[in-house]
A and B are shown apart, each in its own frame.
Chain A
Amino acid sequence: MMTELMLVEGVSDVQLISYYLQNVYGWKHEKSNTLGIVQTDKQDHIESLSKGGNQLVLCGVGGNGKFAHFVEEHRINSMLVERDIASVMVVTDHDEDSVPSIKRSINASFKDISFDSGKWKNNKITDSFGSPKSIRTYLLIIPADKKGSLENVIIDALKDIQTENKLIGEVIEFIESLKSEVVPDLQKINNANKATVGTFFSVRDPKHALRSFAVFVSKIDWSQSESLKDLFEPFNCLGKTDE
């Protein structure tokens, strides 16, 4: 049995990725995780998935910039040495940062492994008995091809889906119309994207307007999105022994 670890920014990322892995890649929700990672902070969000005897532990670290804190708090560096973990994937928002800067920041949190952006890397480490072992790593920066965050990814995905395309277009126009006078704060691109996603889901499913993001996520057939399929293609390697 193989155990894999994925660290993502927040609960929304966990929910979208968990939904996607379950509905597109056939992973199943699992009650407990073999690594024994437990929530130590209100903002931590830990989920566990399994497929074919392999387990993927999906951890929301509590937001952008919290990776180092999470790695330290949960002693991930010791865990990588002491436990059998086949791979570690970090999924983080692109935001306004450059790819080298994001990579440097993520790599600074880890002791014995390092990450390359957009490709799997094989790390050779030594366990505390002195035996060599390998851990694959992958840094997935979203969106991959432009600055932005998870909301960009969702908006682009919704544009791809034929049944959602019209509504997301209307919502984008609506948010755009508020920027100049009514809500100037929406001129910040991140705020506009968050408002677009929030408004879309509230209008798309008003009964659940005040419910969690996870409920909205479950209402959309994300497998229809080509952009999401491209972005999350590295997930295809999870749960497989070959690189």
Chain B
Amino acid sequence: MSKINSIEISQFRGIKQLEISDFSRINLIAGDNNCGKTTFLEAIQFLFAEANLSSVKSIVRQRTVLNPNDSFYVSFINLFNSEQKGKWLTFEISAAGNDGPIRFEITGNEKTVSGEEAFRISSMSSRQKNAYKKSSPLLPETAKIFTGNVISQNSKKPKDKEITISSIDNVLPGITIKKVIQYAPSFGHLRYDLLQNIVENPEYKKLAVSVLQQFDASIVDICYTKADDGAFLETIITVDGTNMPFSVYGDGIKKILYILNKLFDSTDSILLIDEIETGLHKKYFERLFPVVFELAKKLNVQLFIATHSLEAIDAILSYAQYDNTSKNNDPIKVITLKRVESPDGKGSNVVARNVTGRYVYENRKAFEFEVRL
């Protein structure tokens, strides 16, 4: 069971130092643009990453999914807080989890070497090196290399692995690793793998269809169908027997299925949802969110939900029915991240406000509390 109660982030991306404690079952992450919400969700993913570069890559690549040709090396180096002086780079993320302390750390040294040397120590396989030589006959005069260690500790003995990565490494070897916790990026619903955890489980499927019917009463089933070219299509079946591929439906239906699919995959673990409002009209918030939260409770999923939307925040808070419930057992924490300038005017850090859902709800009712700022 993967749950976290607190986190400490050090020298990771734009966060110099940040500690947040007392997480709840539903944790809302709010804040202005560029305040570190996605970085925060990324930090939680690193906590559960393996001590190897493939694991790092699978997290880093989420940011560059729309630009697959972006340099992995540049993305990797950008994991370190840019205000670190010298060539020694480090970041560390640690947390108190349900099963004990969790930690992920990368520490190492970046230096400039000749292109030849970078090619020699590159982590590319022989085949990849040959392909590289064919596509780029001339090696760059100089290249950057990072050598260091990845340390990962997740309720067991820490694992420590030496890593080397160079700026000419455009392909990384490694297998795709199934993640311990799940991440739903804001535009993840535009990709097609919305049904995989749903259709195999009759109970989940029945629930997903009942949720979809709240948005479109004509939907009676969801399944895979085979197209004329043999490809499998994710399909919605309507009450008059028509098969409609998902591609003809709007973002809202896809987003709902995407979140439900990720939720089913997060049983007894953590689901991170970035910009939950993307693709959804606000009028559906109060229908979808209670279903998500009740399901998360049933499946024992801890939620971290980032949002820009005040309507989404209000809808999430309304789930707790604060006007009709006692002050104990608040299921929601609201964490607002804010970028602040250093007192000397050089550089910045991220600070957090961590309050209960009730505090936000009552303040919003009394004086239009702007919790995002």
Stretch at the interface among A15-23, A93-101, A123-131, A217-225: A123-131
- Near B by CB (< 8 A), chain A positions 71-85 give 73-75, 78-79, 82-83
A82 touches B366 (CB 8 A): no
Question: Nearest Cβ in chain A — how far from B35, in angstroms?
Answer: 11
A131 touches B351 (CB 8 A): yes
A129 touches B352 (CB 8 A): yes
Residue of A nearest to B364 (CB): A36
Encode contact with B along A122-153: 1 for CB under 8 Å, 0 otherwise. Answer: 00000111110000000000000000000000
B340 touches A78 (CB 8 A): no
A73 touches B355 (CB 8 A): no
Q: A75-B362, A78-B359 are in contact. Are A129 and B338 (CB under 8 A)?
A: yes
B368: CB under 8 A from chain A?
A: yes
- Near A by CB (< 8 A), chain B positions 81-109 give none
Question: Nearest Cβ in chain B — how far from A130, in angstroms?
Answer: 6
B368 touches A36 (CB 8 A): yes
List A contacts of B336 (CB < 8 A).
129
A231: CB under 8 A from chain B?
A: no
B contacts with A, residue count (CB < 8 A):
14
Residue of A nearest to B359 (CB): A78
A35: CB under 8 A from chain B?
A: yes
List A contacts of B155 (CB < 8 A).
none
Looking at B355, B366, B368, B369, the one whose CB has the most chain A CB atoms below 10 A away is B366
List B contacts of A75 (CB < 8 A).
362-363, 366-367
B120: CB under 8 A from chain A?
A: no
A contacts with B, residue count (CB < 8 A):
16
A128 touches B353 (CB 8 A): yes
Q: Which of B338, B351, B359, B367 contacts A37 (CB 8 A)?
A: B367
| Measured CA separation A130–B20 after assembly (Å) | 12
| Measured CA separation A100–B368 after assembly (Å) | 34
Residue of A nearest to B355 (CB): A128
Q: A75-B362, A131-B340 are in contact. Are A36 and B353 (CB under 8 A)?
A: no
List B contacts of A128 (CB < 8 A).
353, 355
List B contacts of A129 (CB < 8 A).
336, 338, 340, 351-353
Residue of B nearest to A129 (CB): B351
| Measured CA separation A40–B369 after assembly (Å) | 16
| Measured CA separation A128–B363 after assembly (Å) | 13
| Measured CA separation A128–B340 after assembly (Å) | 13
Residue of B nearest to A34 (CB): B368
List A contacts of B362 (CB < 8 A).
75, 78
B363 touches A78 (CB 8 A): yes
A79 touches B352 (CB 8 A): no
Residue of A nearest to B369 (CB): A82
Encode contact with A along B332-373: 1 for CB under 8 Å, 0 otherwise. Answer: 000010101000000000011101000100110011110000
Q: A75-B362, A129-B340, A131-B340 are in contact. Are A83 and B351 (CB under 8 A)?
A: no
Residue of A nearest to B350 (CB): A129
B366 touches A79 (CB 8 A): yes
| Measured CA separation A130–B354 after assembly (Å) | 10
A79 touches B363 (CB 8 A): yes
Residue of A nearest to B338 (CB): A129
| Measured CA separation A36–B351 after assembly (Å) | 25
List B contacts of A82 (CB < 8 A).
363, 369
| Measured CA separation A75–B366 after assembly (Å) | 6
Q: Which of A79, A127, A130, A131 contacts B367 (CB 8 A)?
A: A79
Residue of B nearest to A130 (CB): B351
List A contacts of B340 (CB < 8 A).
129, 131
List A contacts of B363 (CB < 8 A).
75, 78-79, 82
7 cross-chain pairs, A with B, having the tightest CB-CB distances, nearest first: A36-B368, A75-B366, A128-B353, A36-B367, A129-B351, A129-B353, A78-B363
Q: Please name 18 pairs of A and B residues whose Cβ atoms are closer than 8 Å in the assembled complex, sorted by A.
A: A35-B367, A36-B367, A36-B369, A37-B367, A40-B366, A75-B363, A78-B363, A78-B366, A79-B363, A82-B363, A82-B369, A83-B367, A127-B353, A128-B353, A128-B355, A129-B340, A129-B353, A131-B340
